[in-house]
Structure 1
Amino acid sequence: MPSSDVPINWKRNLTVAWFGCFLTGAAFSLVMPFLPLYVELLGVTGHSALNMWSGLVFSITFLFSAIASPFWGGLADRKGRKIMLLRSALGMAIVMALMGLAQNVWQFLILRAMLGLLGGFIPNANALIATQIPRNKSGWALGTLSTGGVAGALLGPLAGGLLADSWGLRMVFFITASVLFICFLLTLCYIRENFVPVAKREMLHAKDVFASLKNPKLVLSLFITTMIIQVATGSIAPILTLYVRELAGNVSNIAFISGMIASVPGVAALLSAPRLGKLGDKIGPEKILVAALVISVLLLLPMSLVQTPWQLGVLRFLLGAADGALLPAVQTLLVYNSTNQIAGRIFSYNQSFRDIGNVTGPLVGAAISASFSFRAVFCVTAGVVLFNALYSWFSLQRPPRSTTVESERPRVQQTLPTDD
């Protein structure tokens, strides 16, 4: 372990963590385009059975991630964040390789659950960077870090489709495992953390974690905001291609058009997140958060009225630009309202709420579209986001209660960062 009096080069850690998040995002999304095809390869036949198993293997990862995140967050606060990054990257690499060897759908389902249990690279990367960067750069740094996972998730499906066509479905899992192992090596060699392990008896219990917060109701509202952001994003996902087909009519390149419209929010978020994060450092992340939620409502409502795919594409691009500010703003506010000693658990709880949103969003969207129409999904989603905007605004108006927590805590855990 490096000496605790040696300054941390937080800029290098941010750069390496960005590449780690990029590789992790790419690795996860590499296999997403052909999950139903792999389920079929493992012996599942029939339209209903294929749909059911595809939904199960997709959602079970997020479900088990939501369950496991608080445990890993507590361990990160006790043992350090770097070791959690290493554990996550190596664990996911091994599980991905085993997926390529699966012989039936039950084995694949169990491995997808294990992937959720062993995940957590991105929230732990957020916690690591959040405890090392100067406070006045939190929004910019966390916004920049968020673009790593977004960029990986954008490029992953394209690369996965090309690799599957060229090398076969099973080989993509082995390639994905190799990408995650590269992430492990980068983290091992280049990320540095001066962390003094904390004895288990000295760790705060979950109840004490929230009791130590300056404003626990605000932190809980931020968790709920994270969940609603993912519900809003996920509710549109299952109906997007069908909605585009309804708008476009009988065209030969419907898959291409749908793919473009699905990806443009990510491109916009990639461009906007660092800039809006930097703006949040100047004017306050709470203003960015509420403004982005209101703008999202104003963009979701017209999506229910569009007449062409290109109108939908433009609105989704603008929505992505607003969404690029949301999660970094939430994470910055979490940094402002918690101490370094509990940062791992706070970010892991936030990840659990995010995973719950990832599971419930597609179910909500599918249920609304089946009961009413595709256009109704956008109206209901806009209503949910409007509630979130009002709820967040009221939560942010509440003054923090007085606690033993210092109002201006140090921005580092054991040592001061350097700008070198």
Structure 2
Amino acid sequence: MGRTETGHGTTTEEDGSAHWQRNLLVCVFGSFTTIVAMTLLLPFLPLYVEQLGVAGSAAIATWSGAAFGATFLSAALVAPLWGQLADRYGRKLMLIRASLGMAVAMSLTGMAQDVYQLVGLRLLAGFLGGYASGSFVLVATQSPKARSAWALGMLSSGIMAGNLAGPLLGGVLPQHIGIRATFLAAGAVIFIAFLATTLLIHEEKRPRGTTVARERGGFAAVPDKGPLLAMLATGMLLMFANMSVEPIITLYVAELVADQAQVTMVAGLAMSAAALGSILSAARLGKLADRIGHWNVIVGCLLVSALLLVPQAFVSASWQLVALRFLMGLSLGGLLPCVASVIRHNVPDRVAGTMLGYSTSSQYAGQVAGPLLGGFVGGHLGMGAVFLGTAVLMAAGAAFNWMVKPRG
């Protein structure tokens, strides 16, 4: 077990950093603000694209999709790199880089002069960003192992709250201050997160001998790769399940609602219900996982979500869909903190950032694959097949995790 000498005495890997609670609060705030900034433009992105000179509904939709997806594409590609650099030069340094980079990129996005600049700046935001994934690395490695899942659950709640608040703020702010000023305001708030990160986060120095240990890095440094590979697959499956219904949910709601004027509102409620459920359950399920075991919670969450997906294919009223999406959000809330905790417990500390970076990339892969496959299946086999197919995948994920989890 590693020990770290600090100005406050000796801390161990089991005890975590003496400053872990303050670090957690700053990371929750910073992750919330950066995720809000990444999702803020959802309601008004087509309007901004049109302002930048794109004409025609098909072209506007195409460029809007490219601009939104660009950030997640570049973020997925560089997440392992930032994780590796965090292991080498420090996790706090990567958070400072990400918050400052995002503040600059968001402010510049409000100054774009054409759609090519918009897409380029969205790519830049994904490349320079990564605050939320970097926070997972810092919190996972600086928190006491016995409370790591709870701490990561709190962080997950902040991230999901950002996903929920971003589109809501994006629907309100442009009406009052304008689209370009909305981006500038988002950049200013992220700059506050940059200042808080720089001044308030304290990262404990790592044990001596880390430089020598770096000779065996990456996957080669992980003695048992089974748990790590299982968590990479589980993270991708979680995001796949969350995103697979996104392309079809509005169409599905249209079949359930008599008043077509209410379709978008009900669809928004259904999407928000899942996020709200996850916000409420993440920390509680993380605390439960610290007590009964992370693998048990992962298997249980996957199995319950699979069971809840089945009735979603057969609902006859919109309120039933909203309620089931909320319950599914409750069941999925514990997965991300548990995935990060299992990785933290099963890889050497010197490569934790790299492995959690790969985990982030696998989750982004699920975010990309989910809507693509969901839209294809919904269009060719019917919308109910999307829910049933996702349920089968979640059940298979539960069975797989049950089989590979360590015994004893």
Is the alpha carbon distance of 1:192 and 1:201 closer, same or farther for their aligned partners in structure 2, counting shifts above 3 Å? closer
Whole-angstrom CA distance in 1 between matches of 2:151 and 2:351: 20
Is the contact between residue 270 and residue 324 of structure 1 (CA under 8 Å) also seen in structure 2?
yes
**Given the superposition, is the C-alpha separation of residues 367 and 86 from structure 1 closer, same or farther in structure 2, using an over 3 Å criterion?**
same
Q: CA deviation at 1:251?
A: 3.7
Q: In the alignment, which residue of structure 1 is the partner of 2:397?
A: 388
Query: Does the 8 Å CA contact 2:273/2:325 hold for their aligned counterparts?
Result: yes
- Corresponding residue for residue 48 of structure 2: 38
User: How many angstroms apart in 2 are the aligned matches of 1:398 and 1:279?
Assistant: 19
Query: How far is 1:27 from its partner?
Result: 1.8
Question: Hey, what's the Cα distance between the residues in 1 that align with 2:163 and 2:45?
Answer: 15
Q: State the partner residue of 1:343.
A: 352
Whole-Å separation in 1 of the counterparts to 2:383 and 2:63: 24
Q: CA deviation at 1:287?
A: 0.3
SS where residue 97 of structure 1 aligns? helix
Point out where structure 1 has 5 or more consecutive residues left out of the alignment: 400-420
Give me the whole-angstrom Cα distance separating, in 1, the residues matched to 2:102 and 2:323: 36
1:95-244 matches, cutoff 5 A: 95-195=105-205, 202=212, 204=214, 208-244=217-253
- RCO higher in structure (CA 8 A, sep ≥6): 1
Indicate whether 1:302 and 2:304 are aligned.
no
1:6 counterpart = 2:8: yes
1:58 is aligned to 2:68:
yes
Q: Please, which moves more after superposition, 370-379 or 309-318?
A: 370-379
The CA deviation at 1:234 is 0.9
4+ residue runs of structure 1 moved beyond 6 angstroms? 197-201
What displacement does 1:113 show?
0.9
Q: Which residue of 2 aligns with 1:371?
A: 380
Identity of aligned residues (%): 41
Q: Is the 8 A contact 1:77 1:342 kept in 2?
A: yes
Other-structure match for 2:339: 330
Asked if structure 2 preserves the Cα contact closer than 8 Å seen for 1:297 and 1:383, the reply is yes
Deviation per CA, 1:352-371, whole angstroms, max 9, x where unpaired?
A: 11111112211111111121
Superposed, which structure 2 residues align to 1:214-293 within 5 Å?
214-293=223-302
2:54 alignment partner, SS class: coil
Match of 1:292, as an amino acid? C
Which range moves more in the overlay, 317-326 or 45-54? 45-54
- Aligned-CA RMSD value: 2.0
How much has 1:175 moved relative to structure 2?
A: 1.0
Deviation, structure 1 residue 203: 6.5
Q: Which moved more, 1:371-380 or 1:79-88?
A: 371-380
Quick check: 222-231 or 367-376, which moved more?
A: 367-376
Q: CA deviation at 1:374?
A: 1.6
TM-score of the pair, normalised by structure 1: 0.90
- 142-151 vs 43-52, which deviates more? 43-52
User: What is the total number of aligned residue pairs between the two structures?
Assistant: 396
Structure 1 stretch displaced more, 248-257 or 152-161: 248-257
- Corresponding residue SS for 2:334: helix
What TM-score, normalized by structure 2, do the two folds share?
A: 0.92
What letter matches 2:345 in structure 1? Y
Tell whether the 8 Å contact from 1:238 to 1:362 is kept in structure 2 after alignment.
Answer: yes
* More displaced stretch, 189-198 vs 13-22: 189-198
- Deviations 1:363-382 (Å, cap 9, x if unpaired)? 11111112122211111111
- How far has the Cα of 1:140 moved from its partner? 0.9
The Cα shift of 1:202 comes to 4.5
**1:354 alignment counterpart:** 363
The equivalent residue for 1:88 is 98
Aligned to 2:30: 20
Cα pair distance change 1:176/1:279, threshold 3 Å: same
Amino acid aligned to 2:399: L
Contact 1:70 1:348 in 2 (8 A): yes
- Distance in 1, matches of 2:236 and 2:263, equals 31
1: CA distance, partners of 2:131 / 2:213? 22
CA shift digits 1:170-225 (9 cap, x unpaired) = 111111111111110111111111336999974647x8432322420220110011
| Kept after mapping to 1: 8 A contact 2:227/2:342 | no
Structure 1 CA distance, aligned partners of 2:270 and 2:35?
19
Question: Mean Cα displacement is larger for which, 24-33 or 314-323?
Answer: 24-33
**Secondary structure of the structure 2 residue equivalent to 1:131:** helix
| Inter-partner Cα distance in structure 1 for 2:156 and 2:231 | 17
